[in-house]
Structure 1
Amino acid sequence: MNTSNPVIEALVQRRSIRKFTDEPVSREDLTSILEAGRWAPSGLNNQPWRFLIIHKDDPRATLLSECTKYGHIIKSAKILICVFLDKDSTYNEVKDHQGVGCCIQNMMLAAHSLKIGTVWLGEILNQEQKVLDILNLPHEKYELQVVIAAGHPDQKGSSERKELSELILEDY
């Protein structure tokens, strides 16, 4: 694999970070992360994602931490990026969810490039209705996709991958 390419290098080096320092995430860095998400591809360019940012000192952060067994990660994060699917902007459920996934990946890679750690908190989806209530968002309009916990890393992430040969269905 060509890891001298900066994009490929970022893809290979990005890891989920679950512990964060006390250093705040700057507004400039947060804006860059959100802009990266904004530029994700979507079917018919409908851009069905919506963001809601929760800062560590926001009382809603504590309430959100009670919605997941990973509450300790939420409490450690400097910011939470809540990503929603805007149901009014959708045209195809599968393509719209794929587009939001691209948006999330763009944001996590942008954060990595800015030396900000992130982790994709998906288990909180089990409490989607409660999360929407905490955030005072209408259930009929928004579908929770993920909460990204972010901050400056206080750990080094690690991960293993299956061999490519285990993932290929036919020889290419």
Structure 2
Amino acid sequence: MEHNPVLEAIRDRRSIRRYKAEAIPRDVLLAVLEAGRWAPSGLNNQPWRFLVVQAGDPRQEALAAHTKYSHIVRQAAALFCVFLDREIVYNRAKDLQGVGACLQNMLLAAHAQGLGAVWLGEIINQEPRVTQALGLDEQRLELMAVLAAGWPDQKGSSDRKPLEDLLLEPLP
């Protein structure tokens, strides 16, 4: 197979849960947000909304208080909170799929910028209290996930099931 940077990024990206105590420059934060913004969505309605909480912001502790992964939240240099805007949802299933694509784009962009990141989904078990703790409108915004990010202080690893185990029938 020919060298392909997109396919390599997909294979090489890992969930990173430990970070160095070093700020992330604004241009790197923007690159991650831009990647999320360019995700596909049904009717191109772009139902996602973002809040970036950086280290030292009091909202970081508000997020940490609402997840069993508080140690990751407290150590992150930035937390990308991704919400579904209920006011523009036209088909919940399609919009949730779009948010998933947005999150994957953001994870790949973080990896491409040299950041380590992890998708924290468990925090939505505390939704809408998390949204309220952030001072946002829980009637309009529904928290979908938080991406914790920072300069990696660990190597990631991962295993995958063989493709044959995932195919419902073999390829011809």
Q: TM-score, normalised on structure 2?
A: 0.97
Stretch of structure 1 that moved more, 13-22 or 125-134: 125-134
RMSD (Å) for aligned C-alpha atoms: 0.9
- 3-state DSSP of counterpart to 2:103: helix
Instruction: Find the aligned partners of 1:3 and 1:109 in 2 and give their Cα distance.
Output: 20
Which residue pairs with 1:44 in the alignment? 43
Letter in 1 for 2:115: I
CA distance in 2 between partners of 1:151 and 1:139 (Å): 27
Cα distance in structure 1, aligned partners of 2:59 and 2:51: 12
Determine helix, strand or coil for the equivalent of 1:99: helix
Q: Which runs of 5+ in 2 are unaligned?
A: none
Kept in 2, the 8 Å contact 1:54–1:79? The answer is yes
SS at the partner of 1:28?
Answer: helix
Q: Where does residue 31 of structure 1 map in the other structure?
A: 30
Question: How far apart are the structure 2 equivalents of 1:148 and 1:84?
Answer: 11
TM-score (norm 1): 0.97
The corresponding residue for 2:158 is 159
Aligned residues: 171
Would the aligned equivalents of 1:79 and 1:149 in 2 still touch at CA under 8 Å? yes
Show the 5 A alignment for 1:52-67: 52-67=51-66
* Distance (whole Å) between structure 2 residues aligned to residue 39 and residue 3 of structure 1: 26
Give the aligned partner of residue 105 of structure 1: 104
1:168 equivalent to 2:161? Answer: no
Deviation at 1:3, TM superposition (A): 6.8
Sequence identity, in percent?
A: 56
In structure 2, the partner of 1:141 is 140
**Hey, which bits of structure 1, 4+ residues long, moved more than 2 A?**
none
Unaligned runs of 5+ in 1: none
For 2:60 and 2:39, how far apart are their aligned partners in 1?
A: 27
